[in-house]
Chain A
Amino acid sequence: MAAILYLCIVSLAIMWLMWLRPQIAQHQRELKEMEEAPITGYGSNAIPAFKHLTLVRTLDEKHLPVGDKRLVFVGDVHGCIDELKALLKKVNFDQHRDHLILTGDIVAKGPDSSGVISLARKLGATSVRGNHEDKFLLSVADMEAKGEPISDTTADNDLKADLMVDQTLPQSERERRKLAKKLSRHQIDWLKECPVILRVGYVNGIGDMVVVHAGLVPDIPLERQDPFQCMNMRTINLKTRIPSEKHHGFAWEKFWNFRQKKLPADERVTIVYGHDARRGKNIKKYSKGLDSGCVRGGRLTALVVDSRGKEKYVQVKCKGYVK
């Protein structure tokens, strides 16, 4: 009996020393770093000008939830048209009453990028620019500069489109060029209009909302955010406040939430975002991560917000189109 007790105490002591104490120390260190502002700051550069890139756009006020109107935010669709239709049906989406906002990455990887864009346009939806839209549009620009045809109506199937593309290019570049041949000019122009950051505006019961594909750095105005990081960040260096697309590190949204709570209530901003399928659906007070890995067989997630600011999360299961 005494031996068992002794063993328990030793195990607890080991657990404390090896795991719990370092965890507490790390947490305290992170809190301290989040509190302390660096002496010189990241984010003081003049944001570079990029062709055909709108950094910030404000949503038309008429879409804000008033009365029975709702905002429906949907995470990374990646061409999964069936799942998107099923999800919209499940939330009883009515385009005369509700407004659909997509968190970007609506193209690439999945079965029907063109179908998703067409549906989004038909419903009058808004989307932000994800890293996949970003890379795709840059490939389009490169094709245009080199005189390669885009929106080729003879590319009416995958094989034909494939044969039209330079086979020596890397696989991912070939896929983008194939897509550029399959999409219409109107669809490509629609993608070009998608801003990096969408300022939604004030939503009753929630406050100011913003949609961006990957994330934002706190304490920097929207107009001063770096577009590449807005479309790619996953983590942030607490000492330097510099974001990174790496998975390993301190999650940017943890820092975002921490900083929002330090602000007066009327200055806090809630971000709706996607991008990080590995972390999946990730809901916090001031950040709503909606990328639940649909294209890999996860779920497609919608956040429905009504005029009282009530948040409802709805999901559909996805078939899975890539490993």
Chain B
Amino acid sequence: MQAAFSPPIPTPTPEPEPRRDPKENKYFHEPGTDDQLGHYDARFFHGKVTHQERTETQLDMIRAYLKFFQDEGLETWIAHGTLLGWWWNGQRLPWDWDMDVQVSDATLRRLGAHYNQSVHEYSSHNDKREYLLDINSWIWERVPGDGMNIIDARWIDKRNGLFIDITGLSEIKPDTEPGVWSCKHKHRYNVTDLYPLRETVFEGVKAMVPYAYQKHLVVEYGEKALMLREYQGYIARPLRRHWLILADIRGMRGVRSGWL
């Protein structure tokens, strides 16, 4: 497995003036807004990919991202649906259309200053991919604003436009709510539940997760997410570290749906 780093083209981070139509402020563009099309970057979209290609893309993408950040000494941790998949069996959730990671405010500013528009090569299984690390020019705004730029950065597969959403956490009310970090999607965290980060393994590579990982999952998804093993047509086999497609096994004798 190799990763190559092209030096970034210096790009100024402007503070654009708000225009009358908020949509004109939107930095990242997707080919559509539905569940599928909303998860491609329009610049690299060449049509919807198969389930297999999506799986392979996401596996390579998250491994490449984590390796690059580690090599550069950039702190990041997995979040949201990706964290939930890790909790279940150390893998991505098979129905997830994108992957989510978070960074601190300080790391986000460092990305904006030194890594914007950088392109990275990654090789695995006789395959080579390229990723664009694109930092939203609206990272200066740490509140949701007009909601057009909730995502702070993306790690985009240039082959098909699938991406990892990168969101930064900032202490937006240091006077009234010290130690509370928020993302632009209004998820709020106590810094004492985030740090110190824990080193673990995700999809076979080193990854970091928040200190009180279960609390994050329960707050965001409810306790059900830690209990229901059947979801979106899949059933968990955590001890075997995989998810089975329910339709494939329902016909099998002796299998009781909801509990395997």
- Could you tell me the dominant secondary structure of chain A's interface residues? loop
Residues in A whose Cβ lies below 8 Å from that of B198: 50-51, 138
Q: Mark A225-255, 1 if CB is under 8 A from B, else 0.
A: 0101100100001001010010000000000
User: Could you tell me if A138 and B197 are in contact, using CB atoms closer than 8 angstroms?
Assistant: yes
A139 is an interface residue with CB less than 8 A from chain B? yes
The CA-CA distance from A139 to B200 in the complex, in Å, is: 15
**Option from A44, A48, A141, A228 in Cβ contact (under 8 Å) with B229:** A44
User: Could you tell me if B90 and A46 are in contact, using CB atoms closer than 8 angstroms?
Assistant: yes
User: Could you tell me if A44 and B236 are in contact, using CB atoms closer than 8 angstroms?
Assistant: yes
Residue in A closest to B196 when the chains form the complex, CB atoms: A138
**CB proximity to A under 8 Å, residues B56-71:** none
- Taking A40-B259, A141-B199, A172-B192 as given, write out 10 further A-B residue pairs in contact, using a Cβ cutoff of 8 Å, ordered by the A residue number: A44-B227, A45-B236, A49-B200, A49-B201, A138-B196, A146-B73, A226-B214, A228-B212, A232-B212, A240-B223
Nearest chain A CB to B62 CB, angstrom units? 16
B239 is an interface residue with CB less than 8 A from chain A? yes
User: Could you tell me if A48 and B87 are in contact, using CB atoms closer than 8 angstroms?
Assistant: yes
Residues in B whose Cβ lies below 8 Å from that of A170: 179, 191-192
Residue in B closest to A229 when the chains form the complex, CB atoms: B214
Assuming the contacts A40-B229, A237-B223, asked whether A45 and B200 have C-beta atoms less than 8 A apart, the reply is no
User: Could you tell me if B90 and A142 are in contact, using CB atoms closer than 8 angstroms?
Assistant: no
User: Could you tell me if A50 and B226 are in contact, using CB atoms closer than 8 angstroms?
Assistant: no
**CB proximity to A under 8 Å, residues B74-128:** 86-90
User: Could you tell me if A45 and B258 are in contact, using CB atoms closer than 8 angstroms?
Assistant: no
A-B contact pairs, 26 of them (CB 8 A): A38-B227, A40-B259, A42-B226, A44-B227, A44-B229, A44-B238, A45-B88, A45-B226, A45-B236, A45-B238, A48-B86, A48-B87, A48-B209, A49-B90, A50-B199, A50-B200, A51-B199, A52-B199, A139-B196, A146-B73, A170-B179, A173-B196, A226-B214, A228-B214, A232-B212, A240-B226
Residues in A whose Cβ lies below 8 Å from that of B249: none
Residues in B whose Cβ lies below 8 Å from that of A229: 214
The CA-CA distance from A185 to B198 in the complex, in Å, is: 20
Give A contacts to B, CB under 8 Å. 38-42, 44-46, 48-52, 135, 138-139, 141-142, 146, 170, 172-173, 226, 228-229, 232, 237, 240, 242, 245
Number of cross-chain contacts by CB at 8 Å: 79
The CA-CA distance from A227 to B88 in the complex, in Å, is: 14
Residues in A whose Cβ lies below 8 Å from that of B199: 50-52, 141
User: Could you tell me if A242 and B218 are in contact, using CB atoms closer than 8 angstroms?
Assistant: yes
The CA-CA distance from A138 to B210 in the complex, in Å, is: 11
The CA-CA distance from A265 to B33 in the complex, in Å, is: 60
Residues in B whose Cβ lies below 8 Å from that of A142: 196-197
The CA-CA distance from A45 to B192 in the complex, in Å, is: 25
The CA-CA distance from A172 to B198 in the complex, in Å, is: 17
Nearest chain B CB to A24 CB, angstrom units? 27
Nearest chain B CB to A65 CB, angstrom units? 36
Nearest chain B CB to A236 CB, angstrom units? 11
Nearest chain A CB to B187 CB, angstrom units? 20
Residues in A whose Cβ lies below 8 Å from that of B211: 135, 138
Closest 6 CB pairs of A and B: A138-B196, A46-B238, A51-B199, A46-B89, A240-B223, A40-B227
The CA-CA distance from A282 to B114 in the complex, in Å, is: 56
B241 is an interface residue with CB less than 8 A from chain A? yes
Nearest chain A CB to B174 CB, angstrom units? 12
Residues in A whose Cβ lies below 8 Å from that of B244: none
Residues in B whose Cβ lies below 8 Å from that of A141: 196, 199
Nearest chain A CB to B228 CB, angstrom units? 6
Residues in B whose Cβ lies below 8 Å from that of A50: 198-200
The CA-CA distance from A49 to B208 in the complex, in Å, is: 11
Residue in B closest to A241 when the chains form the complex, CB atoms: B227
Nearest chain A CB to B194 CB, angstrom units? 11
User: Could you tell me if B258 and A40 are in contact, using CB atoms closer than 8 angstroms?
Assistant: yes
Residues in A whose Cβ lies below 8 Å from that of B226: 42, 45, 240, 242
Nearest chain B CB to A1 CB, angstrom units? 57
Nearest chain B CB to A248 CB, angstrom units? 15
Residues in A whose Cβ lies below 8 Å from that of B140: none
Nearest chain A CB to B134 CB, angstrom units? 27
User: Could you tell me if A51 and B227 are in contact, using CB atoms closer than 8 angstroms?
Assistant: no
The CA-CA distance from A50 to B199 in the complex, in Å, is: 6
Residue in A closest to B87 when the chains form the complex, CB atoms: A45
The CA-CA distance from A156 to B208 in the complex, in Å, is: 33
Nearest chain A CB to B54 CB, angstrom units? 23
Residues in A whose Cβ lies below 8 Å from that of B197: 138, 142
Residues in A whose Cβ lies below 8 Å from that of B234: none
Nearest chain A CB to B241 CB, angstrom units? 6
Most buried by B among A38, A40, A173: A40
The CA-CA distance from A120 to B227 in the complex, in Å, is: 40
**CB proximity to A under 8 Å, residues B183-240:** 191-192, 195-201, 209, 211-215, 218, 223, 226-229, 236, 238-239
Residues in A whose Cβ lies below 8 Å from that of B192: 170, 172
The CA-CA distance from A232 to B196 in the complex, in Å, is: 15
The CA-CA distance from A269 to B259 in the complex, in Å, is: 27
The CA-CA distance from A170 to B198 in the complex, in Å, is: 18
User: Could you tell me if B214 and A48 are in contact, using CB atoms closer than 8 angstroms?
Assistant: no
Most buried by B among A38, A46, A50, A141: A46
Nearest chain A CB to B72 CB, angstrom units? 13
